[in-house]
Amino acid sequence: MNAPLPGAASIGDGAAVLTRARLSIPGMHCAGCIAKVERLLSASDGVYGARVDFSEKSVAIDHDAALIDVPQLVRTLEQNGFAAHPILTLDAAADSADVAAARHHAMLLSALGVAAFASMNIMLLSVSIWSGLAGDGRTIFHWLSAAIAVPTVIWSGRPFFQSAWGALRHGRTNMDVPISIAVLLTTGMSLYETATRGPHAWFDGAVMLLFFLLGGRVLDSMMRERARAGASALMGASASGAMLVDAAGRAVWHAASAIRPGDVMLVAAGDRLAADGVLIDGDARIDQSMLTGEAASIAFTKGQMLLAGMLNLDAPIRVEARAVGDDRRIAELARAMRDAGQQKSRYVRIADRAARFYTPVVHALAALGFLGWMVAEAGAHQSLLVAVAVLLITCPCALGLAVPVAQVVASGALMRSGLLVKDGSALERLAECDMVLLDKTGTLTLGRPMPQSLDGLDGTARGVALALAQASSHPLSRGLARSLNDAGVVPADVSEIAETPGVGMSGQWQGQRVTLGRGAPLAHAGMAMSLAVGDGAAVTIAMEDVLRPDAAAALAALSALGLPQQIISGDGVGAVEKVAQMLHLPATAAADPDAKFALIKALRAEGRRVLMVGDGLNDGPALAAAHASIAPSSASDVGQQAADLVFMGDSLNALPRAVRAARMTQRVVRGNFLLAIIYNVIAVPLAMAGWVTPLVAAVAMSSSSLIVVANSLRLVRAAR
């Protein structure tokens, strides 16, 4: 990502090397932000260009690494109110899969464009033929249609032919097999008709079929593309590089790929580690929630092992890198996740399951039509025409649209209500789930420490506390500031605010010194802050990770949907017990990532279909292995990437809403299949009787597609 561009430009006389960096800026939400970010960056020395990708909420910056480095770019943005972090991909395989997906999407769009052009132009020619053009004119028009249709079938049919061939080679069949056979046979038969100056050619039918089906494919792919952009925008939370201390003692920023075992990393407060390593200098307070899901920060001392992805909370530390790149624990987890995800890729989608019944029936009917007319001594030519008409008219135009249109409409509705759906099969799998596993930290709870109560603080203390807390980015301060803001507190006029790493905030208020710092925790594994105003006694504010609002109501709604729940957490027994008792749920505590994965495998072996709800990196393999999975948007980037759905906001009500919408989508999809069957029951006898002319085929195919689309639009309100 930060590699020099191919053919790096030389600018002016010096050998300036242009480097491209990508930063994720989740806070961009309007046109003004785009303009501001691009202008800010372009105005910096050493930056040659900056271009925002709004769908991805990211910016690509071409810059001279000698003049300005990535941390400086991040700082430039942060000083102007845009939180930014470098985008990192977990490994090269995920990155190239992304590129391949984007290329496939572009290929589908291009195929759709060609099919649209061809079907319109062939239709134009066909209308004259349907209106009674005969003789040489008709033959010329047929040849013209052929000249347009044959290249189109080759170009736009590729996605179907490739998929059908892939399935056939492995002895399987899918939706694309009957599509490919119908398109190829229809085109071949039409060419023969054209060459023998016959009255009917079905070029328009073949190309229109491709157009409708590609429409469905593009919708399906757009849904995944949108989610992919969302997911890669969220990849920023882990460090993409570190400040390395060189022999002369200077700290220079290097990308994660450039770190070697033995390098010494300087990790500032608030930064994440980019490699696994040993703490060689300084005492550290570490937030390792991304790895273990535990909310409490943990003290590390010299000589202890730290892992990539851990967040350094208090003071700057020095860490000697031990494991880098693919040897890091975080990369191991990513591999486990990918292996677990293979299970999901073997899932057979509902359209392909339908095709298993559909294909033999359709092909049998076509063969029957051919044999019937042969027996009736209509001749091989006439019999073959009937068979082609049966294949064309039964071809799953409506079936090919039934699933993607319904799923796109439903996922659009879910997106408006704050739920991001990764792909269509996620909705199918979610509708089938029959139980729920919930992680505790960050899933049932908010995953950020909040004050247990503000009762210990009087009016002035609240104002002072807010003024100090809002000036810090420490998780405890942020939690305190948030709940004070929610309580409507107005910050006091505190001046000379300063932050001492590892100690806390201090400032001057009405001539008195005020401090906000770490306090002695009241209970085991709890956290606390301490506020002192002037010479008065310090007030201790106990902090804890609280349950999400309406967690109980959301879980009750899930039970009403027939989904029993269980808690599985990496947290200690005590903390898990407390939450489990509050929510009356069975719980498993102290489960590491492998244990979570194992539990899901065991449940699957029992025939259960598990919906996993989790957020941490430690939930990654479980999220990938479960039948379907949901993560909150506050989840670690790994969690968001592994999950099928991501919900915004704090409310767990998103869970029952997603399940209801998925089930409703499944009902509409089945309704669409029923409509397609009814259509076929009417159309097939007509085709068998030999009454299906190209005009009848065109009208029948378009009207059946329109009916299916109209039925799917009912899902606009699915997420209510």
Partner 1 sequence: MTAGLIFLIPVALGLGLFGLAAFHWALRSGQFSDLDGAAMRILIDDAVEDDTPLEGDARKG
- What residue ranges bind partner 1 (CB under 8 A)? 1, 9, 20-22, 30-32, 34-35, 38-39, 42-43, 48-56, 60, 62, 102, 106, 109-110, 113-114, 117, 120-121, 124-125, 136-137, 140, 144, 148
* Other Cβ atoms closer than 10 A to 19: 23
Q: Going by C-beta distance under 8 Å and a sequence separation of 6 or more, which residues neighbour residue 37?
A: 25, 28, 50, 52, 59, 77, 82
| CA 411/CA 8 separation, integer angstroms | 42
Task: Identify which of residues 9 and 83 has a Cβ nearer to partner 1 in the complex.
Answer: 9
Q: Are 653 and 554 in contact (CB under 8 A)?
A: yes
Task: Identify which of residues 56 and 176 has a Cβ nearer to partner 1 in the complex.
Answer: 56
Q: How far is the CB of 369 from partner 1 (least distance, A)?
A: 35
Task: Identify which of residues 110 and 162 has a Cβ nearer to partner 1 in the complex.
Answer: 110
Task: Identify which of residues 284 and 408 has a Cβ nearer to partner 1 in the complex.
Answer: 408
Task: Identify which of residues 43 and 252 has a Cβ nearer to partner 1 in the complex.
Answer: 43
SS3 per residue for 372-408: HHHHCCCCHHHHHHHHHHHHHHHCCHHHHHHHHHHHH
Among 411, 404, 422, which Cα is nearest to 218's? 404
Task: Identify which of residues 134 and 247 has a Cβ nearer to partner 1 in the complex.
Answer: 134
Q: Distances in Å between the alpha carbon of 475 and those of 109, 449, 570?
A: 45, 7, 20
Coil, strand, or helix at residue 530? strand
Q: How far is the CB of 104 from partner 1 (least distance, A)?
A: 13
* Other Cβ atoms closer than 10 A to 363: 18
Active site residue 439: yes
Task: Identify which of residues 1 and 181 has a Cβ nearer to partner 1 in the complex.
Answer: 1
Task: Identify which of residues 11 and 299 has a Cβ nearer to partner 1 in the complex.
Answer: 11
Task: Identify which of residues 3 and 380 has a Cβ nearer to partner 1 in the complex.
Answer: 3
Q: How far is the CB of 404 from partner 1 (least distance, A)?
A: 18
Q: Distances in Å between the alpha carbon of 24 and those of 231, 288, 539, 568?
A: 11, 22, 39, 31
Q: How far is the CB of 221 from partner 1 (least distance, A)?
A: 12
CA angle 595, 599, 604 (to 5 degrees): 150
Task: Identify which of residues 43 and 490 has a Cβ nearer to partner 1 in the complex.
Answer: 43
Residue 62: in which H helix or E strand, if any?
A: strand 58-64
Task: Identify which of residues 256 and 307 has a Cβ nearer to partner 1 in the complex.
Answer: 256
Q: How far is the CB of 443 from partner 1 (least distance, A)?
A: 29
Please identify which residue in the block is written with the tokens 């038969």.
189
Q: Are 210 and 115 in contact (CB under 8 A)?
A: yes
Task: Identify which of residues 134 and 375 has a Cβ nearer to partner 1 in the complex.
Answer: 134
Q: Going by C-beta distance under 8 Å and a sequence separation of 6 or more, which residues neighbour residue 128?
A: 137, 141
Q: Going by C-beta distance under 8 Å and a sequence separation of 6 or more, which residues neighbour residue 116?
A: 211
Cα atoms in the Cβ-side hemisphere of radius 13 Å centred on 367: 6
| CA 236/CA 239 separation, integer angstroms | 7
Q: How far is the CB of 25 from partner 1 (least distance, A)?
A: 12
* Other Cβ atoms closer than 10 A to 10: 11
- Which is catalytic among the residues 439, 545, 571, 615? 439
Beta bridge partners of 255: 241
Please identify which residue in the block is written with the tokens 């039964």.
394
| CA 638/CA 7 separation, integer angstroms | 33
Please identify which residue in the block is written with the tokens 């509902």.
350
Q: How far is the CB of 511 from partner 1 (least distance, A)?
A: 44
Q: How far apart are the first and last CA of the chain?
A: 41
Q: Are 144 and 121 in contact (CB under 8 A)?
A: no
Q: How far is the CB of 623 from partner 1 (least distance, A)?
A: 26
Cα atoms in the Cβ-side hemisphere of radius 13 Å centred on 654: 27
Q: How far is the CB of 333 from partner 1 (least distance, A)?
A: 26
Q: How far is the CB of 9 from partner 1 (least distance, A)?
A: 8
| Both tokens assigned to 353 | 């399951």
Beta bridge partners of 646: 420, 631
Please identify which residue in the block is written with the tokens 């997106």.
415
| CA 157/CA 178 separation, integer angstroms | 13
Q: How far is the CB of 409 from partner 1 (least distance, A)?
A: 18
| CA 82/CA 19 separation, integer angstroms | 22
Among 695, 141, 162, 713, which Cα is nearest to 409's? 713
Beta bridge partners of 58: 24, 53
10 Å CB burial of residue 566 (0-12, 13-18, 19+) is middle
Q: How far is the CB of 117 from partner 1 (least distance, A)?
A: 4
Among 278, 262, 336, which Cα is nearest to 310's? 278
Strand 284-287, strand 298-300: pairing: antiparallel
Q: What positions carry a catalytic annotation?
A: 439
